[in-house]
A = this chain, B = another copy of it.
Amino acid sequence: MRKGTPNIKFLFEPRSVAIIGASQHQNKIGYKIVENIRFSKYPGKIYPVNPKGGEILGLPVYRSLDEIRGHIDMAVLAIPAKIAYQAVKDCARCGVKFLVLITSGFSEVGNTEGERKIVAYAHEHQMRILGPNIFGIYSSMAPLNATFGMKEIMPGSVAIITQSGALGLAMIGKTAVENIGLSAIVSVGNKSDINEADLLGYLASHKNTKVILMYIEGVKDGDKLVDVLKETTPKKPVVVIKSGRSKVGAMAAASHTGSLAGADEIFSDIMTQCGVLRAESIQEAFAWCKFLASAPTPKGENTVIITNGGGLGVLAADACEKYDVQLYNDIENMKKTFSGVVPEFGSLKNPVDITGQATMTDYEQALNISLKNRDIHSIICLGCETAVFAGKEISMMVKKIFSAGKSKKPLVFSFVGGVQTEEAIDHLKTSGIPIFSDVYEAVSCFGTMYVNYHNTKNSPAAEIEEREIDIRAVESIIKKARDEKRQSLLSWEARGIIEAIGIHGPESHLARNLDEAIAYAEKLDYPVVMKVVSRDILHKSDVGGVALDLLNRDEVIDAYGAIMHSCREHVPEAIIEGVEISQQVEPGLETIIGARRDRSFGPIVMFGLGGIYVEVMKDVSFRALPLNREEAGAMIKEIKSYPLLLGVRGEKRKDIDSVIDTIMNLSALIQKCKSISDIEINPLVVYEQGDGAQAVDARILISSAER
């Protein structure tokens, strides 16, 4: 945070609010905002501002900010873009802390300069900006509804941050339908200054907020976002809807907001790294938020399904696998626990089938037993409508069980049936009971609950170890390339850099002539590899610039001649500096490790298996930096071809520690050495556990911006 930057608390709990562009016309945004602030029973000072003066809803209107005597924490600007800059200046003069810039017509329509100017001015004067191009902010903490959306917002424990204004306003409406109480809803719009990360910082430690929902189209300052998310998710669940997953979607997102949507795979992997719950649709996100805001934390992972229909039980078991919910399977304990309530033709195994003859009393018994059993940590209760399981009695039974058990164990219900059943479901929903028509929806809530369970259990995160890097050695190699106006390093330069940071490859030497080549080859163990070295030759194999598997002095001599001949024939103008002589590496499992600066997330690292796995199967995983060894390990495990590292077909386990080391080293390099934009080790040949790995080739690109 910049020096003198106001505390973000005053955005959520301002002591006074000025509305610049307040209006007497009821169909104007400037009226609607004043009306909503009044309606929300905001306890602080309200200063409507309009050159025309007068009165709005009984409040005196100030002709200018200067007329206001008290301090102003927040100014809401509902004025045209062309006069916004002047208003911002006025705000600075009057000591405003936060500008809520409703106004549109900035970067979202290409006016980036107008936006940049305002932000720069605000920063110079210790002001922060929410927006522009937003509907405002609601905070139950003040309480304050400084939006031009719905008047009535039910206070509660879910906070929403939305990049889309239209969708945000519609979501406020939907919270009313779904009976979801809000602690805050913030429209971030173009995110010219304040973005998700700033807001999360406040919401993470705010005790009224139990769940945070974010609708994101594009990420700005992703590295900051990652830091804050990592701090937030061990404290409370964060649900994200990220639109623009598809190519068309990403293009559409880019066309209608100020920021480009990042590649979805990278986003998705980084959210996993941060412990964020990614929802596909608004519906799904709302269901999760509502559930997470009220469910108790489970004491363990043993989930039991109680059902009166086998089919429904099987569907739920399928859903449990999809959402990674663990079904309790201690058969002996299950038998002991449920033998009294399951008839002979039912099932004592999980899902527990109390059969279609089960009455309300049977349900109650089975649920009470589950609630009492300490080895059962959470319960999914299912029901098909039957002659003995129908109507209002369902509601009564569920309410009774839920109020008895809700503070003890997470419970979720899903019933299928006719009009009566649906009515019971609707009624129970209104009472705040997690009940769903759809089994998958019910189980998905448990899935998110268990992700959250692991987030909170695993915290605090392991320390990220500092790696010493010989930056001076690295920079001196890069300086040479920069001096020669190159944007990529030669392969032996790249290899020099990775050696300098402790990533080892085969012993290798630059030979400037045949004699040197022979001398180096003789020094190494045969077989050796020879590659042409020339900044004019990028694809060495294509011009006959590579010779593998050279077994003796004679083959080295022959290969040298052949390479020179072929390269001169193919690229006559190339200046050839010599050849690189390397030890040929033993075969092993080929992997690829890369690191680069992502436009959304800053430095990121990638891991995958070599060759086809990366290119065709796209079997790779990404992580944002910094990361610790544990996260690097998780990243490796995430790829589908991970079993190859564990060893298949009787092979031994590979040296995964070496892979982690390499990921850590490369990560440290890209973080500390701003001159490097991209680095890729391909392949890193990994041997059996204890035998390490060899970086055979490396490619390094230099940042285009001079330092």
Q: Which residues of A contact B (CB under 8 A)?
A: 27, 104, 108-109, 150, 163-167, 169-174, 176-177, 215, 217, 241, 243-249, 251-253, 255-257, 280-284, 308-315, 317-322, 327, 329, 345, 347, 349-351, 353, 356, 384-387, 416-422, 437-441, 612, 615-617, 619, 640-641, 643-644, 648-649
A248 near B350: Cβ-Cβ < 8 Å: yes
The count of identical subunits is 2
Q: A244-B318, A283-B438 are in contact. Are A311 and B648 (CB under 8 A)?
A: no
Interface centre among A166, A312, A421 (most CB of B within 10 A): A166
Q: A109-B345, A167-B312, A612-B648 are in contact. Are A418 and B172 (CB under 8 A)?
A: yes
B356 near A166: Cβ-Cβ < 8 Å: yes
Q: A164-B309, A311-B215, A345-B109 are in contact. Are A170 and B417 (CB under 8 A)?
A: yes
Measured CB to CB, the nearest residue on chain B to A650 is B542
Please indicate the chain B residues that have their CB under 8 angstroms from the CB of A422 in the complex: 174, 177
B164 near A311: Cβ-Cβ < 8 Å: yes
Complex-state Cα separation, A701 to B523, whole angstroms: 55
Could you say which of B253, B386, B439 contacts A314, with CB atoms under 8 Å apart? B253
Could you say which of B176, B255, B345, B349 contacts A418, with CB atoms under 8 Å apart? B176
Interface centre among A252, A317, A419, A437 (most CB of B within 10 A): A252
A166 near B315: Cβ-Cβ < 8 Å: no
Please indicate the chain B residues that have their CB under 8 angstroms from the CB of A438 in the complex: 281-284
Measured CB to CB, the nearest residue on chain B to A355 is B166
Pick 27 A–B contacts, CB within 8 A, sort by A: A108-B345, A164-B309, A164-B310, A164-B312, A166-B309, A166-B356, A167-B309, A167-B416, A170-B312, A170-B416, A170-B417, A171-B416, A244-B318, A246-B321, A248-B350, A249-B317, A252-B347, A253-B310, A255-B310, A256-B353, A282-B438, A283-B441, A284-B438, A616-B641, A616-B643, A616-B644, A617-B641
Please indicate the chain B residues that have their CB under 8 angstroms from the CB of A347 in the complex: 252, 255-256
Could you say which of B163, B246, B387, B419 contacts A318, with CB atoms under 8 Å apart? B246
B252 near A317: Cβ-Cβ < 8 Å: yes
Kindly provide the distance from the CB of A434 to the nearest chain B CB, expressed in whole angstroms. 16
B648 near A166: Cβ-Cβ < 8 Å: no
Given contacts A173-B421, A245-B321, A281-B438, 12 further A-B contacts (CB under 8 A): A164-B310, A164-B311, A166-B312, A169-B384, A172-B418, A174-B437, A243-B314, A248-B329, A249-B321, A252-B347, A253-B314, A256-B353
A416 near B282: Cβ-Cβ < 8 Å: yes
A246 near B322: Cβ-Cβ < 8 Å: yes
B315 near A281: Cβ-Cβ < 8 Å: yes
Please indicate the chain B residues that have their CB under 8 angstroms from the CB of A109 in the complex: 345
Kindly provide the distance from the CB of A540 to the nearest chain B CB, expressed in whole angstroms. 15
Please indicate the chain B residues that have their CB under 8 angstroms from the CB of A166 in the complex: 308-312, 356, 384, 386
B314 near A384: Cβ-Cβ < 8 Å: no
Please indicate the chain B residues that have their CB under 8 angstroms from the CB of A386 in the complex: 166, 169
B150 near A418: Cβ-Cβ < 8 Å: yes
Complex-state Cα separation, A297 to B313, whole angstroms: 36
B217 near A314: Cβ-Cβ < 8 Å: yes
Kindly provide the distance from the CB of A510 to the nearest chain B CB, expressed in whole angstroms. 28
Complex-state Cα separation, A421 to B349, whole angstroms: 44
Complex-state Cα separation, A416 to B253, whole angstroms: 18
Kindly provide the distance from the CB of A335 to the nearest chain B CB, expressed in whole angstroms. 14
Please indicate the chain B residues that have their CB under 8 angstroms from the CB of A649 in the complex: 615
Complex-state Cα separation, A248 to B351, whole angstroms: 9
Could you say which of B282, B313, B384, B640 contacts A616, with CB atoms under 8 Å apart? B640
Kindly provide the distance from the CB of A215 to the nearest chain B CB, expressed in whole angstroms. 7
Q: A246-B322, A616-B644 are in contact. Are A169 and B253 (CB under 8 A)?
A: no
Please indicate the chain B residues that have their CB under 8 angstroms from the CB of A174 in the complex: 416-418, 422, 437
Complex-state Cα separation, A244 to B320, whole angstroms: 11
Measured CB to CB, the nearest residue on chain B to A310 is B256
Complex-state Cα separation, A349 to B251, whole angstroms: 10
Complex-state Cα separation, A422 to B639, whole angstroms: 42
Kindly provide the distance from the CB of A252 to the nearest chain B CB, expressed in whole angstroms. 5
Interface centre among A163, A322, A418 (most CB of B within 10 A): A418
Please indicate the chain B residues that have their CB under 8 angstroms from the CB of A312 in the complex: 164, 166-167, 170
Complex-state Cα separation, A5 to B248, whole angstroms: 55
CB-based closest 6 A-B pairs: A173-B418, A164-B311, A166-B309, A246-B321, A256-B310, A167-B311
B173 near A419: Cβ-Cβ < 8 Å: yes
Q: A167-B309, A312-B166 are in contact. Are A283 and B249 (CB under 8 A)?
A: no
B248 near A320: Cβ-Cβ < 8 Å: yes
Please indicate the chain B residues that have their CB under 8 angstroms from the CB of A320 in the complex: 246, 248
Kindly provide the distance from the CB of A389 to the nearest chain B CB, expressed in whole angstroms. 10
Please indicate the chain B residues that have their CB under 8 angstroms from the CB of A165 in the complex: 356
Complex-state Cα separation, A699 to B314, whole angstroms: 36
Kindly provide the distance from the CB of A639 to the nearest chain B CB, expressed in whole angstroms. 10
Please indicate the chain B residues that have their CB under 8 angstroms from the CB of A246 in the complex: 317-318, 320-322
Please indicate the chain B residues that have their CB under 8 angstroms from the CB of A644 in the complex: 612, 616
